[in-house]
Structure 1
């Protein structure tokens, strides 16, 4: 994520092949046969759920921008990781009108953001099962601990749909934690003249009866918070890059003139980042440039970043870098968010440095010159202290400063080997700070405990740059 001002089921699809199953989160059981109402993340204790892993989401949505009403059917194909007599889904603010497990009606109740499901018979460990949830209502965004909003955010011509960190549950039932990654199909129906944009490959659209249904498929594993279903009156551009990546850009006409020159740079930015970090991790790319001045940020929605207005080149570079760091390689706990934001911020520094602008060292020096009381030093990026701080300056800029210190300590050849190894070794999976620091020591052959402690974990301004 970057602030706007600073910088049918995949396992059964003959065309798409088997779904990609992401790693199963470590969870705590509330009882031997009950899935826990949370994935055990201390920053967001109710995010995600235990006892199962979602392999695939098939989301069929119908949205009316004038009334703000959403009708949805979500079909989740999942695998039980223990015997289950009950399990939870994350869903808030919408009315459930029907729910089945393996085509049998299942008992369900609401408990805050938890949709508690009791199937007719227990699900054995290892059993693949299908949950179908029909729901409707007027989706609303959630307020995050830092005061920002995410989820389904209405706009004057549709909706800006950005789910980091909690918002997926505002528009579909999910196992909403980064450790549960799944493949997706979307069928999004909106009034004719509107466009509905989701993740992955564009499969086409069909218009009839005054409405258009847009179909999308995300085959590579994706965390629920990275899904989007943004709706608006967009100008659409489609093309395929020299590397065979399918690009789909959707731009609000009010932002088109300001966005055009930056969006033209997307193929070259992805090519440059691929040289640094390894092959682009997805089959699709693109941008959604909305006109949503009340949102205040851009977000790295997988394969198709979402901007609340025409982005700067730096913001485009930042959100594109997230396709490697955050989307393909996702955090295991929100505490490690610097692995997303510090890396994307440092990519901005590298891009500027390698394209005739300020060096990364100059940026580092300017930040280090800030006084000890500056918010940059308010807490260490490797331990932000809670959900209210995960998008704070210390995570972005001090996280980037950590990488610059690492670069200086190990030298450029080892540093860029570390970045490529991190992106390839955890491709389409998850990682932790401890895994990254161990990788850096292994590749560099250096003891880096002191460096990482000082820049990632120690409080206050470091004594020396």
Structure 2
């Protein structure tokens, strides 16, 4: 998502840490002190400052207090349980766009400073390798800011979240990279006339005065980019999916009747996906319809985010709207359960979601998959020239993080899957898809992992075949279609196409 930096204000302890470091440097004592706080990252080529080395987050417990005005900061406390993988004299957390009031490590006050988009915490004592520790941050979570910068989305009656790809740390401090998945608990307090829904299941709710506190907890680990909290004048519509799966849709109360023809399709979508790749991997599912102009839909875990206008503006074919619903649902296998190890593996998320979107349209609305893939093949060389090949996309434009979501990671990546199916045959391809989501369920996986598993299923090494499709400057010949041609990009043209409205 597009991200505009806004330096948060700091608390007195933060200022003291910086002043002490400057004084130590001036006195020539810096060799005996820690270096100045600085932002770190785990080395993701597309988002080099995302994530932080030296620890593994086990769980987040995030408390938010919403006062009823979606332009004002929320009061928040984020508790992070983690295990150190290295000695930590400091703990870096991704965080920006909020005020930090105080930090504790294992219940003891800790010094902290903000550097770039990192909150740098210095515990009273170093954390040793293998040790578990808890960081508690008292802060604000600010929904104000430019539209479509990611994080909080202000809706017509409240808030929702859209954190992909690198905006969760605009909402809460953490290790904001999908390689470090963790369990989430949300405790959200809001005026009693509002409804709060979050990832996972509702565990408890309690009324005190004019406010109600809602407690939600997920049963499976989740990437920070997939976090979701919805606050508004909403109706929760409940139904049952396959195998008794609880399905809960969250919609503006005024639109509940109007949206029902779309929402009631979800159980059938779930059944269709289960026939393709196996049982739905989470404890609940649902559609969150937001009264907001986001420009995209998003697969937030167990509760996919959709613009209200997708369902209400009219003029869109029924099959098209349903295929977009299936796209976001498919992500719960491809992207949510099996998450990318680095952002260059994004093609595995979006290529698969686009594949099942297109396959659903073919099987239910007679929209030929081959026709769509032939058009993608025609455009593929231009997409690669503009945005890089599917598994090595160019970094997003500065200040325009949403530009990462280019056609090459959608239809251009689904084209890779079509080529693979052409090469190894439909039965082997379908077995591969099931093995992929089963072997790496609730974990992370890479492009190399996918190529290895495809080779296992095919019974031969597919590395050379996949190399061209995933990393080539030009699109390889399509197996079974020697007559297909890709249109060469205009000379000197590398302008990226507009980003997709899907995620």
TM-score when normalising by structure 2 = 0.81
Match of 2:138 among 134, 155, 173: 134
Q: Which residue of 1 aligns with 2:414?
A: 400
- Please state if 1:230 is matched with 2:230: yes
Offset of 1:86 from its aligned partner?
Answer: 0.6
Match of 2:112 among 108, 111, 129: 108
Residues 204-243 of structure 1: matches in 2 within 5 Å? Answer: 204-243=204-243
CA distance in 1, matches of 2:382, 2:48: 31
Please, which moves more after superposition, 388-397 or 84-93? 388-397
Q: Which runs of 5+ in 2 are unaligned?
A: 2-33, 312-320, 398-402, 479-483, 485-503
Between structures 1 and 2, the one with greater strand share: 1
Cα pair distance change 1:373/1:342, threshold 3 Å:
closer
* Larger Rg, first or second structure (1 or 2): 2
CA distance in 2, matches of 1:98, 1:115: 11
Instruction: Kindly provide the CA deviation profile for residues 51-95 of structure 1, in whole angstroms up to 9, marking residues without a partner as x.
Output: 111101111100124252200011111111111111111111111
- Please state if 1:155 is matched with 2:128: no
- Please state if 1:118 is matched with 2:114: no
Match of 2:424 among 386, 410, 419: 410
Instruction: Kindly provide the CA deviation profile for residues 182-221 of structure 1, in whole angstroms up to 9, marking residues without a partner as x.
Output: 1111111112222222101122432332222221111201
- CA contact under 8 A between 2:56 and 2:180: conserved in structure 1? yes
CA distance in 2, matches of 1:107, 1:391: 38
Q: Which residue of 2 aligns with 1:425?
A: 439
- CA contact under 8 A between 1:299 and 1:305: conserved in structure 2? yes
Offset of 1:440 from its aligned partner?
Answer: 0.6
Please, which moves more after superposition, 417-426 or 188-197? 188-197
TM-score when normalising by structure 1 = 0.87
Q: Which residue of 1 aligns with 2:332?
A: 323
Offset of 1:407 from its aligned partner?
Answer: 0.9
Match of 1:441 among 455, 464, 487: 455
Please provide the CA RMSD for this pair: 2.3
Q: Which runs of 5+ in 1 are unaligned?
A: 2-30
CA distance in 2, matches of 1:371, 1:53: 38
Residues 33-432 of structure 1: matches in 2 within 5 Å? Answer: 37-66=40-69, 67-136=71-140, 138-140=142-144, 148-253=148-253, 255-293=255-293, 295-309=294-308, 310-311=310-311, 312-370=321-379, 373=382, 378-388=387-397, 389-432=403-446
Offset of 1:390 from its aligned partner?
Answer: 2.8
Cα pair distance change 1:373/1:427, threshold 3 Å:
closer
CA distance in 2, matches of 1:240, 1:73: 34
Please, which moves more after superposition, 327-336 or 36-45? 36-45
Between structures 1 and 2, the one with greater helix share: 2
Cα pair distance change 1:160/1:375, threshold 3 Å:
farther
The number of residue pairs the alignment matches comes to 430
Offset of 1:36 from its aligned partner?
Answer: 7.5
Please, which moves more after superposition, 202-211 or 432-441? 202-211
